[in-house]
Chains A and B, each alone.
Chain A
Amino acid sequence: MKTRYANPYVIGTLLGLVLLFTFYTMGRGLGSSASFARIATAGMHLVAPEHAAANKYYARYLVGGRSPLMAWLVFLTLGAGLGGLFSAFISNRVKGEVIRGPNIGVSARLWFALFGGILSGFAARLARGCTSGQALTGASELAFGSWVFMFCIFAGAYATAYFLRKEWL
């Protein structure tokens, strides 16, 4: 089944306006990867509170006596889930499935998804942001590191794409 989605230039313009609105109201941009670090921290805090408090990286999300989940980006990510669900719902795209190319099995695809997720979660922490928190937000405020980061994403992806053509093509 082939789907023609919304025009990317129109979506891009609207997304730029949402980002501008975020800057105007909050003085910061969009983002989401830190939410997953916060979820990880909250989980670790629940299971092994002493271990979490002793780790320098978890500790940065545990300051202030607030739950690590009471954070701006966590609410943004929750909202993104709702908005995405609404959009998928009105176009009848809510459907349990595994997105994969024709030449790969379901379980192999899911292992790739897990491994890719681990790499992305790690890389986003290392770079202090992801495609939205670094590339989109930082590039629009013309931050130097964010532009370098964005081109490195493309470089990393294009360098890897050939070896994974079986997964997608």
Chain B
Amino acid sequence: MGPLYKYGWFDFAYSLQLAGLIGVLFGFLLERAGFGNARKLVAIFYLKDFAVLKVMFTAIVVCMLGLLFFSVFGWMDLSKIYLLPTYIWPQIVGGFVLGMGFVIGGYCPTTSVVSAVSGKLDGLIFVVGMILGSIVFAEFFPLIEQFYSSGSMGAVRLSDVLKINSGLIALLVCLMAVGAYWLVEKVENKLGDPETLPVGSRKAKAWAAAILVALGLVLAVVNPDRIAAKKTSAAVKEKPKIEAVRKAPPKPAEPASSGAVIIEDEGC
């Protein structure tokens, strides 16, 4: 059952190697999509090429469906995943300023790395700027600390705030993604450059859209929240039994890889 690291399947040193591998895949995919090029990236803000939105929404939808289905199948314990806490005011302002930085500088943090390594001087300068920006933030931290922790809502999900179950949210996200794809392709066809826009068959797109919505529908019916709650209550009931068994035979020290150690994570 995942997440593997939290159950002690491997140690910190190995997790760093894994980080390198995941990073290679991440950077490779970003460059494949053309995200090492600032003009390709900012074209979304001039309504000419929505690759940024398509890649982002697709990755979000695929991962979201994967997480929820893994949870339903009992392959992954979502409560062990580091959920980003919500601090609504700094997130609103930070998002807005990051968007401004995106258009002014031409990149967002990860894409600037990909750009810099492929020889783009503007990407390298952007990276230098980000390091300077981090220093500015740290130096002024005493002044902004109060704002930095304002609007704290804890680690809340959309389902907690909107008071509907995650399955239904997943369906809505799928519908929103498909709607967004349809809309931006209309705009692209009007304003974009047909020589650089991706080619793809209508049939494949229609099928993919139908599959997305169908998977969302399944989740909306299954309701992953209820299943997760059921599992937790079952685990609580089982717990005394396990403890009783553990107490009986005084075992020698268990091997470290027995898969039951929960490692705390430092988050971002």
Residues of A near any B CB (own CB < 8 A): 2-9, 11-34, 36-37, 39-41, 43-44, 55-58, 70, 72-73, 75-88, 93-101, 109-110, 112-161, 164-165, 167-169
Contacts and interface: CB of A to CB of B under 8 A. Distances in A.
A88 B110 contact: no
Contacts, number: 551
A88 B66 contact: no
Given A9-B58, A16-B60, A142-B166, A110 B130 contact: no
Interface string B19-57: 111111111111111101111101111100011001111
Given A80-B24, A117-B112, A119-B133, A140 B64 contact: yes
Contacts of B56: 12, 131, 135-136, 150
Contact of A96 (B42, B82, B119, B132): B119
Given A79-B23, A144-B161, A17 B66 contact: yes
B81 interface: yes
By secondary structure, the A interface counts as helix
B31 to A, nearest CB: 4
B261 interface: no
Nearest to A158: B45
Pairs A-B, 6 closest by C-beta atoms = A116-B105, A117-B129, A79-B23, A121-B133, A12-B58, A156-B99
Contacts of A164: 103-104
Given A81-B27, A140-B60, A144-B153, A120 B129 contact: yes
Interface residues of B, number: 142
Contact of B62 (A17, A109, A144): A17
Interface in B184-223: 193, 195-200, 205, 208
Interface string B75-94: 11010111111111011111
Given A13-B58, A131-B56, 20 more contacts: A2-B193, A4-B197, A5-B32, A16-B66, A24-B76, A26-B18, A37-B134, A81-B114, A88-B114, A114-B125, A124-B134, A127-B90, A128-B94, A129-B84, A131-B102, A131-B110, A157-B103, A160-B100, A161-B103, A168-B42
Interface of B: 2-6, 15-34, 36-40, 42-46, 50-51, 54-64, 66-67, 70, 75-76, 78, 80-88, 90-123, 125-139, 141-142, 144-145, 148, 153, 155-161, 166, 169-170, 173, 181, 193, 195-200, 205, 208, 265, 267-268
